[in-house]
Amino acid sequence: MLTLTGPVAREQATGLGDAVFALLAGEETGVVVCDVAGIGPPGLAAVELLARLQLAARRAGGRIRLRAPDPALRALLDLVGIPVEVEGEAEEGEPALGVEVEVEPGEASL
């Protein structure tokens, strides 16, 4: 897990990108969880940092997943078109945990 704290500075991206590579090297799931609860007020520096971390993860064959993002940070990421996963949310196309899919009578359940 990578814990990000604020205030966010542009210079952090290089060192944290290297940390993402290192974490993915030891991770079988291909996911690095980034705790962003302490990142501070969301702004373009935070968006740029997360975009660079996502890019570094994708280059290493993985992705990042955010833990405890501020709703304003999520809105800002959505606004600029940076897709990120959030811990505890179902992935796109997957039903949420505990949701049962209804089947027709006579069909086998999954």
- What's the mean per-residue pLDDT of the chain? 85
> What is the predicted pLDDT for the residue at 91?
62
Reported as a single tens digit per residue, the pLDDT across 73-105 is 999 999 999 988 999 886 655 555 555 556 667
Residues 9, 14, 70: CA angle, nearest 5 degrees = 50
Average pLDDT estimate for 21-38: 90
Q: Which has more confidence, 38 or 106?
A: 38
The tokens 């969880």 sit on which residue?
Answer: 33
pTM: 0.77
> What is the predicted pLDDT for the residue at 67?
97
> What is the predicted pLDDT for the residue at 26?
79
pLDDT at 38 over 90: yes
64 membership: H or E segment, kind and range = strand 63-67
